[in-house]
């Protein structure tokens, strides 16, 4: 059933987009009710606004801790329009009907991120706001509810199109978003009190419905604050698979301080290189596997110039991430309307935790932020300076490949990789094959393995292909076999003590 909005109760912390909302409601003949700072902001726009205190007959108390927690407010939200007994109570107690409730909750999570002061954090636990949202969501049959400034513009468009009325389906969808926001808010508070951030990524931030999941028949949504990480300058909406690959690309590119470029496909690095300039890094990264780069996600840690943009413009890619784009570069790259161009404003949280839902529960772990716990030469000779640089690069790249994983590197360039294989030998064979397909010689190349060598077969096969140095965590009961082979054949080997499985 359609419902006309006559009265709106607005109580928001952030005033972002408030003018769009207030002016749109006023244009549709909606009477505005508010408190404190929100009321002042609306009145400063030149719009009429009634103080909630005039409805309740009770002032804001306890320094603003109690403003809207009153039967006349909640009665006006929860009253069922079609219930005879409710109508009797409304008339007897002089309750105003509130047909729209707009609440932007106190920024609890932002406060936690910016201060460790307990009293400041506790003051940002919203009580009345959550109560108002839940009441309005519960009575969605009669009441609309908005829980985010991001919803204001779309809601006004909806209201204009409906001549001031909303449908039941529209109200129910808004209630879904509201209960989701309340649930995530409560989880964030519970996590802070318990000292547990386990469900932070799955439960915090704004909900964004996606076109679909990994496949078109799967529904999906993203919970988080993408706007804190990126400015999207161009292109279509990020998809589920885009987001997964963007996360992988940002994590990989964060490994490097020198100019670097990376190409990601299905979360695996397929081209990575470091060079003196971003243009050289791009050319080397693409050359690492030009076939797999088609449709990939690209990332660099340098400003994107027109020179590089012209080179990139010749291939099809889904997403390009950089800390900045020059105006000339944007002009080149925006020639394709669906390309997604992202400015990464801040690095991923290095201390974040990762979670995965399975078996009716949730697995949680710290992010893999350690590259190597030690660096111990155990082979037939010490690594050369060039080999050491390549081994460190290879180890960092291998950390981001799906297990079993092998990374082959030469002169700061990923030249071959094997990933997602059920045996380490198969991963190595795949890496060697990929290098050959791209026309690379492995003479003088180095190899990184995400886990120990259970036998000496990998070092033997690699040696036969021209590889001269290895880095691996060690820890096998047969480490001595691989080390002995390296000593017999004058090959370098480094043990790091750090495994990098990735499933």
Q: Which residue in the list 17, 72, 80, 138 is annotated as catalytic?
A: 138
Query: Is 138 labeled as catalytic in the residue annotation?
Result: yes
* Strand-strand pairing, 353-358 and 260-265: unpaired
CA of residue 475 relative to chain centroid, distance: 34
Query: Is 266 labeled as catalytic in the residue annotation?
Result: yes
CA distances, 287 to each of 201, 268, 292, 335, 390 (Å) = 35, 16, 10, 24, 17
* Strand-strand pairing, 50-51 and 469-472: unpaired
Query: Long-range contacts: 299-303, Cβ < 8 Å, 24+?
Result: 299/249, 299/250, 299/252, 299/253, 299/261, 299/262, 299/264, 299/344, 300/253, 300/259, 300/260, 300/261, 300/262, 301/253, 301/254, 301/256, 301/257, 301/259, 301/260, 302/259, 302/260, 302/278, 303/278
**Omega before residue 29 within 30° of 0, cis:** no
Distance in angstroms (rounded) separating the CA atoms of residues 255 and 392: 10
Which DSSP string corresponds to 470-488? EEE----TTHHHHHHHHHH
Q: Which two tokens stand for residue 101?
A: 């409730």
CA distances, 84 to each of 60, 72, 87, 119 (Å) = 32, 18, 5, 46
Distance in angstroms (rounded) separating the CA atoms of residues 319 and 261: 13
* Strand-strand pairing, 492-495 and 376-377: antiparallel
Q: Which residue in the list 266, 311, 484, 487 is annotated as catalytic?
A: 266
Please list the active-site residues.
Answer: 138, 266
């Amino acid at each position: 059933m359609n419902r006309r909005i006559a009265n709106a109760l607005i109580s928001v912390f952030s005033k972002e987009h408030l003018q769009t909302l207030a002016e749109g409601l006023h244009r549709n003949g909606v009477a505005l009710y508010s408190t404190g700072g929100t009321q002042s902001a609306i009145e400063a726009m030149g719009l009429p606004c009634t103080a909630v205190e005039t409805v309740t007959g009770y002032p804001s108390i306890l320094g603003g801790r109690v403003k809207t927690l009153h039967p006349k407010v909640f009665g006006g939200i929860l009253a069922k329009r079609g219930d005879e007994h409710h109508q009797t109570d409304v008339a007897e107690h002089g309750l105003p009907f509130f047909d729209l409730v707009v609440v932007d909750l106190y920024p609890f999570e932002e406060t936690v991120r910016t201060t460790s002061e307990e009293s400041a954090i506790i003051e940002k636990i919203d009580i009345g706001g959550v109560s108002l949202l839940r009441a309005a969501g519960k009575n969605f049959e009669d009441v609309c509810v908005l829980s985010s400034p991001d919803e204001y513009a779309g809601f006004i468009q909806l209201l204009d199109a409906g001549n001031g009325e909303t449908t039941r389906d529209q109200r129910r969808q808004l209630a879904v978003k509201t209960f989701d926001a309340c649930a995530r808010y409560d989880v964030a508070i519970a996590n802070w009190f318990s000292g547990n951030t386990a469900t932070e990524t799955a439960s915090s931030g704004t909900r964004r419905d996606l076109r679909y999941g990994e496949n078109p028949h799967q529904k999906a949504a993203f919970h988080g604050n993408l706007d804190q990480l990126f400015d999207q300058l161009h292109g279509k909406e990020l998809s589920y698979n885009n987001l997964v690959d963007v996360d992988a690309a940002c994590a990989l590119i964060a490994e490097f301080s020198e100019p670097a470029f990376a190409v990601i496909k299905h979360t695996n690095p397929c081209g990575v290189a470091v060079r003196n300039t971003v243009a050289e890094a791009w050319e080397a990264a693409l050359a690492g596997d030009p076939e797999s780069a088609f449709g990939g996600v690209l990332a660099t840690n340098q400003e994107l110039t027109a020179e590089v943009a012209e080179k990139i413009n010749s291939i099809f890619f889904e997403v390009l991430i950089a800390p900045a784009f020059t105006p000339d570069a944007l002009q080149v790259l925006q020639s394709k309307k669906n390309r997604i161009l992202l400015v990464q404003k801040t690095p991923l949280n290095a201390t974040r935790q990762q979670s995965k839902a399975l078996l009716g529960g949730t697995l949680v772990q710290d992010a893999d932020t350690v590259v190597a716990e030690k660096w111990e030469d155990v082979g037939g000779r010490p690594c050369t300076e060039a080999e050491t640089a390549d081994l460190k690069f290879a180890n960092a790249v291998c950390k981001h490949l799906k297990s079993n994983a092998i990374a082959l590197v030469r002169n700061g360039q990923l030249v071959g990789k094997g990933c997602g294989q059920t045996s380490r030998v198969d991963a190595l064979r795949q890496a060697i094959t990929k290098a050959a397909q791209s026309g690379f010689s492995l003479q003088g190349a180095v190899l990184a393995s995400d886990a120990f060598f259970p036998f000496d077969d990998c070092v033997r096969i690699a040696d036969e292909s021209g590889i001269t140095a290895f880095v691996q965590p060690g820890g096998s009961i047969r480490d001595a076999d691989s080390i002995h082979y390296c000593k017999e054949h004058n090959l370098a080997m480094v043990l790091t003590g750090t495994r990098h499985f990735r499933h």
